[in-house]
């Protein structure tokens, strides 16, 4: 039977369906109030892993979670990400892995989240202009002084993961992955072998995607939604997979969390496994 929990870094137990906070509106007014309600409802439904990042509103998403959930339940892990610099008007957000920038970002995240220790701190992207040892070594300094619990990566290759593992204990990897997007299969396999949490972002396919018909067929058979089938497939793919679907809808939130109770038959899983995927890129 598929386990409903996983220990990140071998230490932090979380329910395997988490919540991605990126879609929560942070501007003042009714939209913000609705976002706070969604965040609180996620915790009420048993979510114990919430993923955020400095890039999501340039700190505003983290501050929203504080307003919604602080003081945090003892079993709640709020993971955040650093290494993206706020851009100027009309510019793309640049990756910045310089040690001085990372130190500033971690310090700011600790203040915004009102914590003395971030349980899981992830590199939003690796900076190709900065030696990996310098980037991860900076986070390791915070880990040694107790202000970071575990270190994670995002959007890395299998080779980058192996290199990172020579520098720090990697607790998580957050790459794009779903039943209809398996470009990072090798990375997931490496995480599976090493017991590293794999947090697929964009875990639910767009409704118009190629291959959606087979997912809809399985959903009809189980009386579920297509999104629930996509999440159930991920949960059955490997015990290290922790989907973090994001939504601003209370109804969709409830559907996503309920997917943990779905069980695909071997025949249904085989049909989904056989879906022909578009070429990577």
Q: What positions carry a catalytic annotation?
A: 56
Beta bridge partners of 122: 81, 152
- C-alpha 80/C-alpha 58 separation (Å) is 12
- C-alpha 138/C-alpha 6 separation (Å) is 27
């Amino acid at each position: 039977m598929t386990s409903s929990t996983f220990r990140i870094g071998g230490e932090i137990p979380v329910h395997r369906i988490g919540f991605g906070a990126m879609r929560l509106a942070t501007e003042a007014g009714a939209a913000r109030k609705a976002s706070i309600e969604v965040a609180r409802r996620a915790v009420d439904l048993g979510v114990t892993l919430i993923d955020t990042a400095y890039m999501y509103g340039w700190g505003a998403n983290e501050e929203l979670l504080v307003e919604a959930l602080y003081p945090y339940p003892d079993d709640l892990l709020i993971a955040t990400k650093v290494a993206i610099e706020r851009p100027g008007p009309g510019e793309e957000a640049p990756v910045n892995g310089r040690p001085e920038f990372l130190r500033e970002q971690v310090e700011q995240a600790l203040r915004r989240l009102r914590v003395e220790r971030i349980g899981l701190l992830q590199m939003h992207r690796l900076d190709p202009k900065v030696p990996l040892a310098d980037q991860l070594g900076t986070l390791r300094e915070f880990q040694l002084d107790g202000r970071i619990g575990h270190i994670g990566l995002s959007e890395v290759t299998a080779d980058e993961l192996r290199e990172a593992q020579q520098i720090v204990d990697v607790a998580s990897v957050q790459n794009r992955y779903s039943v209809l997007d398996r470009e990072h299969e090798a990375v997931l396999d490496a995480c599976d072998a090493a017991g590293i949490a794999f947090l697929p972002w964009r875990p639910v396919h767009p409704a118009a995607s190629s291959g959606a018909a087979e997912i809809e067929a399985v959903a009809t058979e189980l009386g579920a939604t297509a999104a629930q089938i996509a999440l159930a497939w991920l949960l059955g793919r490997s015990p290290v997979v922790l989907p973090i679907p994001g939504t601003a809808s209370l109804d969709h939130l409830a559907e996503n969390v309920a997917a943990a109770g779905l069980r695909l038959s071997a025949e249904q899983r085989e049909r989904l496994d056989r879906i022909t995927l578009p070429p990577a890129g």
